[in-house]
Amino acid sequence: MRRDRPELAHQSFNARARTYIQESGVVELVKWFKHNSLTYPQIAKVVCSCSGDLEKVRRMLKWLRSIYVKGEFLGRVLAKGESLMSRSFEELEEITGYLECCGVRRDWIGHVVSRCPQLLNLSLDELETRVQFYSDMGMNENDFGTMVYDYPKVLGFFSLEEMNSSISERVWFEHRRTWKNAGL
């Protein structure tokens, strides 16, 4: 700190540290996160994920607001979206734009992301594969958008293997029930 800021060289370590902390704006950000019900470990996770670039956190918060993520969920989305801070805004826009094209209304996307931030961690290819999974089952755009709004975790929380396994089990049980009713 002494070499970076020669004007502070005569001050004690605590005084120099206080100056750096105040200038970084981290205190206001931590207060905002606490006001929005984040725990200190969640705050630390967000601050560490941005590699000290608090301006990126502010830009990400602004972007999340633009997709209608509400205030109380902003911090949680940042804390649960593990790789969110490493994603470019172009990638994130591609993901939300693709969801819109698939039937999720723009004003619903904030609700969906609030309930399942993991969606923003998916690559576009992985998201397309997951959407195709439901299209192959015969789901149309309107039904898909409503399903994602009501149950966003079906798209971003489970692995593709879990999704396929769940469908296979349900199909088997439905066939079993049909066989029992038919007396087979």
- pLDDT by residue (tens digit) across 36-49? 777 788 788 777 77
The pLDDT, as a whole number, for residue 175 is 47
With a pLDDT cut of 70, the percent of the chain lying above it is: 82
- Judge residue 64's burial from the number of C-beta atoms within 10 Å of its C-beta, 0-12 exposed, 13-18 middle, 19 or more buried: buried
pLDDT digits (tens, 9 = 90+) for 142-156: 889 999 999 888 887
Give tens-digit pLDDT for 69-121: 987 788 888 877 667 888 899 999 999 999 999 999 999 999 999 999 888 98
**Those residues with Cβ within 8 angstroms of residue 87's Cβ, 6 or more apart along the chain or in another chain:** 120, 121
Q: How many CA atoms lie within 13 A of 28 on its CB side?
A: 8
Three-class SS state of 67: coil
Look-up of token digits 């001050």:
11
Domain boundaries defined on the chain: 87-182
How far, in Å, are 7, 34, 43 from residue 104 at the CA level? 54, 31, 30
CB 78 within 8 A of CB 61: yes
Given a contact cutoff of 8 angstroms between Cβ atoms, the answer to whether 99 and 112 are in contact is yes
